[in-house]
Structures are given as C-alpha cells and as structure tokens.
Amino acid sequence: MFSERTSVGLDVHARSIVACGLDTVTGLVVRRRLVCSVEAVLDWLRELPAPVAVAYEAGPTGFGLARGLTAAGVRCVVAAPSKLQRPAADRIKTDARDALHLARLLRMDQIVQVRVPGVEQEAARDLARAREDVRGDLMRCRHRLSKLLLRHGVVYTGGRAWTGAHQTWLRAQHFIQRGIQLAFDADLEAMLLCLDRRDRLDRAITEMAADCQYTAVVRRLGCLRGVATLTAFGLAVELGDWHRFTGATIGAYLGLVPTESSSGAQRRQGSITKAGNTHARRLLVEAAWHHRRPYHPGQTMRARWAQAGPAAKARGHAGNHRLHQRWLGLIDRKKRPVIANVAVARELAGWCWSLAILDD
C-alpha cells in the first residue's frame, strides 16, 4: 500500500531520465530532466517532500537504478510494461506524460511490478540466455548451409545430419564455381564457430550449476525426464524465487494457459497466451516431448536421482509416471501432438515448482 508523501515516475533512457514527482498532499507536480545515474536521481529526490517512492518501467536499461535506489533506502517499484493501464483515448505519448502517468499509478497502487533479480542471479541468467542465443544462431547457420547445398543438388544420405560423420562429409564438399565455394566455406565456418561457442557455454553452465546458489534446485529438477542440467539451470535462474508461485499460477506466469474470451453463457478459449518468460516456456515445451515415450528409468536418470534427496527422487518418479499417462490420455482423445505437448508442458511446470520448493 502506498504510504509515502511523494510518488515519482521515471522515464528512463540510456542517456537521460525524465522525472516527475507528485506531492500527494498539495497536488504539486515537479518535473526534471536528469542524467542517467543513481547519484543524479538521489540528489533530485532529496529536494522533494519525504518520504518518496519511485517507479519506472522495466526495459533495456536493466535493474541497476532500482538496486541503487533500494540500497539508498528509497522504495523503488519496477513496473511490468505490458500490465500498465492506459486510457484508450490517450493518443499523445511523451516522456513527461509517461513519467506523470507512472507517478499517478504508483500513488493509486495500480502498478504490477516485476521482481528485481539479484546481481548473481542476473549474471547467471545472462549466461543461460547467451547459450539460448547461440542455439538460435546455430540453427540459422545450419539452415543456411543445408539450403545452399540443396539448391545445388547436394543431399546427405549417410544417416542423421549434424553428426561427426556428417561434418566430415561437409568438409569434403567442393564446387567448381568459385562463388559457390566461397559462400559454402563462409557458411560452414559460421556453423563451426557457433558450434564451438555453444560447447564452451555448455561447459561453463555445467561448472556453474555444480557450485552455485541454484545447485540444489538444479539437482531436484533433474529428477524429471527431459530436465537435464542445461534445462534445469535455465529454469532455476529465470524463475529465481519459486515460492512466489503456486502449482496453479506458474503455468499462467509462463504463458502456458489458454487465452479466453467469455461473456454470459458463452465460453471461448483459444491458443496459449505466450505471456511471461519466453525462455523458460521454450525449455518446458521442449522437455515435455520426452514424456511421450514409455517411462523406464535408465542409468542416466538414476545417476541424476543419486544427486538429489530421497524425497525429490520419489517426487520426480511420480511426476514422470503422471506426465506419461497424461500424454497417453491426450492422444486417446485424438488431440494433436503439438496441442497435447503444450498441455503436458503446463503440468510439467507444476511438477518443477513442487520439486523446486521441496525441502530434502
């Protein structure tokens, strides 16, 4: 609940900040353009009637400003941009109007705030997202290379693509036309460089996951099929504090619940909302495919169980059985595999939450 005297809205950019302070007692509005630094903002806040609360939108400028203001004893709220309420008829958008709008919403407690990650969590999250970016780059490089070969009638028939044997076959390809050869060499080099970057990041994530604040959560999440170290670490650093969710709300946070447009006696549901954390949602959807196959714990799964406690092992074993039965039930109802997989991913999110908050 808002209890401060002055509510301040900040429209933060890379080189400047447009600030607007609203005195809730006198109604006086004070505006100022500041340089983008914590010290400049604090100096201006000291000129306002205390106590002061500050709000700004989450964006590419990060959370350094929020951490600095909080460390100085100023309550700072980082607003979720997609949740900000705006009048439908408001067609004028300026930095000053945005800052005043934030100040008013903060005064009325109408801001949905995002959780500000700690420095260590943000560093680990950047590492996981760097690996995700390299995965996308590698996929695009492979597509460019394979389509270049396909355009010139060169097709690999020696088994699965992108294996060691396939890479040896690629290195042996030669073209008479110099332009084609140069384009092929450039695409092959880009693909090999992306592959090397991905492997380096995989090793770095594995090392960090073995000895960090998320190690226990990663090991518990590993009791589920499809959730190995990379996936478990990605989920752990993206969600951070799992206790802010429940088994029923985590699916909505990850955008795995269906959209709905209902009125009166009519109830219409559509595709999933795709709101929230895109990286975590992709990890869960990818992991859910593993539960389609019959469940028989193998050596790899038992080795991951050995790293977790007995309660996590039992919980993961029950989850694996349940998720496979969920797959079978959806297929029996003639659901399309992609639709069934999203439903399993939504339930998998709940099982991950139950393991993450488990105390061994």
| pLDDT number for residue 307 | 93
Which pLDDT band holds residue 341 (cuts at 50, 70, 90)? very high
- 96 pLDDT above the threshold of 90: yes
- 292 pLDDT above the threshold of 70: yes
| pLDDT number for residue 90 | 83
Give the mean pLDDT of 276-303.
95
Residues in a beta bridge with 76: 54
- 264 pLDDT above the threshold of 90: no
- Residues 123-176 pLDDT 10s: 999 999 999 999 999 999 999 999 999 999 999 999 999 999 999 999 999 999
Render the burial of 102-121: b for 16+ CB within 10 Å, e for the rest. bbbbbbeeebeebebbeeeb
Which pLDDT band holds residue 360 (cuts at 50, 70, 90)? low
Task: Give percent above pLDDT 90 in the chain.
Answer: 90
Give the mean pLDDT of 257-272.
87
From 58, 83, 54, select the one nearest 69 (Cα to Cα). Answer: 54
- 41 pLDDT above the threshold of 90: yes
